[in-house]
Structure 1
């Protein structure tokens, strides 16, 4: 869909504690682009996943133009 709309880049975000998502995105060829620190601070109570508190959003980038053939 992104290529059909002639987008150049795909950005995907996930929580710092989402180990499965992080591994999946990297296996699919996405690269970590930046960290949105304290992104989940608005949660009223701390939320934990995989034994870690959700704090930051990790943003991954996939450059669509490099993949075109």
Structure 2
């Protein structure tokens, strides 16, 4: 499943406080989901987003660094 555009994220999702998919507050076990891309005019809004353990498992995201 692809990431939503940065312009459609809530403040919590955009800042990395909440899961990018279910908007649950992230406390422990968050997994990097990648970069949500977006722009507003000339401004780049790309941001690193994170998933809760349940959403990460459902989307086969791995918390281990890639080699």
Q: Which TM-score applies when normalising by structure 1?
A: 0.31
Q: Which one scores higher on RCO, CA 8 angstroms, separation ≥ 6?
A: 1
Q: Considering only CA atoms, is the larger Rg found in Structure 1 or Structure 2?
A: 1
User: Which has a greater percent of strand?
Assistant: 1
